Homo-oligomer: A and B are copies of this chain.
Amino acid sequence: MSNQGATVAPSSAPPIPSGPPPKVTSSGRSTDPIATTNSDSTDIPEFEPFGMPGPRGYPPMTEFLDIFDVDMMKRPEEINKKQHHTDLYNSVDLIVRRGQEFQVKATFNRPYNPAKDKFAVEFVIGTSPHYSKGTYIPVFPNKERLTTWDGRIINNSGNSVTIGVTAAATCMVGKYHMYVAVMTPFGIRRTRRDDSRDLYVLFNPWVKEDAVFLDDETERQECVINEIGIIYHGAFDDISERNWNYGQFNYGVLDACLYIMDRAQMPITNRGDPIKVTRKASAMLNSRDDDGVLVGNWSGDYTYGVAPTSWTGSTDILISYSRSKMPVCYAQCWVYAAVFNTFLRCLGIPSRVVTNYYSAHDNDGNLKTDIILEESGRIDRARTKDSIWNYHCWNECYMSRPDLPQGFGGWQVVDATPQETSDGMYRCGPASVMAIKHGQTCFPYDAAFVFAEVNSDVVFYSRSREGTMEPVKVNHSHVGRMVLTKTPGDTTRRDITDQYKFPEGSAEERTVLEKAEEYGCHREKSDPPPADVDLVLPSLEISIGDDFELSLEFVNKSDERRIVDAYVSGSVVYYTGVTAAEFLFRDPMVTIGPKASVKELVVVESKRYMKHLVEQANLNFIATGKVRETGQIVSVMKVVPLRNPKLSITLSEGGRVSEEMTVTVEFTNPFSFNLEGVYVRMEGPGLMLPKVKYYSVIPGGSSLVWVEYFSPLRAGNSRMFATLDCPALRQVHGQASVTIQP
């Protein structure tokens, strides 16, 4: 080379590339893009030759089987959908569950001769199907070749063969395509791709081998098949119900659920694992990070979407998401939980919505909720930053936990509500309920977080002028007061608090809290002695717009006289416990004789609170005080959910499948003011898809009457639900039960 030995000088500036930067690829990183969509699958050729053809091409293959017809036996009244508990899905395709045999019938050009003819049914899912990845599964009707799915001949008569296929109980859940393939010495001849041979394979709580096996038919019917939801809200001593149409069988909902996993780019190969599916879905049900299904909004302004309180079911939300590919506005916790429940039931994972009353929230797994008092004993609202949600809804789903030691399978908490202040955690669970009960917060996923939601202490601090603070009262029983879910097969509620916690004060409870502390949950260590004066607020049932009296009782348990400087505060709060406005304040000085009690009456006029009401119309009363003789702090808190007016729903008599019926929704504005921008929504499982009507104004005292016609789709018990929602009045609902004859 002529350059040998020459020295080069540096250039002044590196060249600047022109044009847009190339898309960064990972071609050197992996051999093949990973399949992450179930909406598409790679086609397999109709003829796959073995080696090269001879000089004259392939011989005529008339001696081998030719496939004339394939019957997926997919009508709801046929054996497959009945036996697989999938007959309620409104879908023309075959839908089966894994680990359980289904039948398909192949018709050939001549009778099948098992001794001579070789054929297989083949299933593929996703793009680039591969045997080693479990995305291409050949099934042979004889036992010669074993593959992960079982096959057998059930019937061989005339030119038709009925084949029984059992998908592996661990296989991927989603949409497959089926081929019938005949082996010849020259190659494989198979059916041309045709959408009619698409089939869906779901989780199967009915078979032992499936990780979601649930050994109780009543529970399975409730947690997989039931579409009618009851979600509890209000307060633990004044429980309200919300009806919800999960609609997991409605047309398009199953495809929408698969789309959610596609949108999350979840690898197809992970879709057989209920742990991974539920964890991914807990992230995707909220729009944070990943443009998931629902946008959270707790602001009170829902102008640009549907108010969380206005939804009646999941169908509209899921269909809208899968069609528009855009997050749906708006949700709060029960909407996340209800739509998540639809997703889980639709895919066959047993699930239920639960409500935790007084839920410690947004505190990043801390076991303390801090309330700051001034030296006088009055609440320092500016410095009290934590809030306790009146209630919080999440989901439980049922599955084994092979990733944990024995004994932690069963119900698992998953929560799709984004936790605003936690460390970027916009997914939660699955966390074993058993692990939460036993304080085994070290087990994945997020058990410590859920543990705190049901076990936090409320710590009252007294703040000195110089800024130092001293814990003066610790309430161990306020948070996680009660956990409720719907009773399987019934419309009553079921208290499942004991599945989350041992009884208060029990030895087990103490052990569990110590265990959780070992795993890094921080508790308040100091335990100031309880005061000898108790404050008591009675339970109240108040309708919106009522004037009422609050009777605050001071009980002196000591043998001496006590004087309490008390502060009584009434405020309108969001269901998150956040204060919207204080509408009442009193600071009585109360003198109580030894072993006596005194009632302090506080009159609450509706005109004081009506103008401040937000959303779910909750009033929060907090009384705190300082005992002069002892300096001890006393306190009591109570949430009073105001009762809303009801919608009246009336159904016509004698309902029969496919015969027209009427439903009448009626509402009278009970207030002296106008209601503006009113939406009324209505739907009923198996009765009617969601419908909405808009009223620009309902003057004070006026009524609306909405008559709607519908034809029931199927027989059995159902309900029609409706909601009415407008900025000045939210969360008005009504429902009516009906039995449809076949």
Interface residues of A (CB under 8 A from B): 1, 3-11, 13-15, 17, 21-22, 24-32, 34, 50, 120, 122, 128, 130-133, 136, 138, 145, 147, 183, 188, 264-267, 269-270, 276, 279-280, 283, 289, 295-301, 303-304, 329-330, 362, 364, 370, 372, 383-387, 402-405, 420-424, 441-445, 448, 461, 463-469, 518-520, 574, 576, 578-580, 614-615, 672, 677, 679, 693-706
Interface of A is mostly: loop
In Å, the complex CA distance between A270 and B265 comes to 30
* Contact A28 B615, CB 8 Å, known A3-B699, A519-B404, A693-B10: yes
Residues of B within 8 A of A50 (CB): 465
Partner of A269, one of B132, B280, B364, B383: B364
CB–CB B132/A461 < 8 A: yes
User: Could you tell me the distance in whole angstroms from the C-beta of A163 to the nearest C-beta in chain B?
Assistant: 16
Nearest residue (CB) in B for A461 is B132
Residues of B within 8 A of A280 (CB): 423-424
Residues of B within 8 A of A301 (CB): 22, 25
CB–CB B672/A468 < 8 A: no
CB–CB A576/B298 < 8 A: no
Residues of B within 8 A of A130 (CB): 383, 385
Residues of B within 8 A of A30 (CB): 362, 387, 420-421, 576, 578
CB–CB A31/B384 < 8 A: yes
16 extra A-B contacts, CB within 8 A, seeds A24-B296, A29-B298: A6-B701, A7-B703, A8-B698, A10-B706, A11-B695, A24-B299, A26-B296, A28-B299, A29-B296, A31-B387, A34-B421, A132-B370, A132-B385, A188-B466, A402-B518, A405-B442
CB–CB B145/A468 < 8 A: yes
In Å, the complex CA distance between A32 and B266 comes to 35
User: Could you tell me the distance in whole angstroms from the C-beta of A545 to the nearest C-beta in chain B?
Assistant: 14
Partner of A364, one of B270, B300, B304, B520: B270
CB–CB B24/A295 < 8 A: yes
Residues of B within 8 A of A26 (CB): 296-299, 420
Residues of B within 8 A of A405 (CB): 442, 518-519
* The 4 residue pairs across chains A and B that have the minimum distance between CB atoms: A29-B298, A3-B699, A402-B520, A28-B574
* Contact A699 B580, CB 8 Å, known A403-B442, A465-B50, A468-B131: no
User: Could you tell me the distance in whole angstroms from the C-beta of A321 to the nearest C-beta in chain B?
Assistant: 17
Can you list 22 A-B pairs with a CB-CB distance of less than 8 A? A1-B699, A3-B702, A6-B699, A6-B702, A7-B702, A7-B705, A11-B695, A14-B677, A14-B679, A15-B677, A27-B578, A29-B362, A30-B421, A31-B384, A31-B579, A32-B385, A34-B420, A34-B421, A120-B466, A266-B424, A403-B520, A404-B442
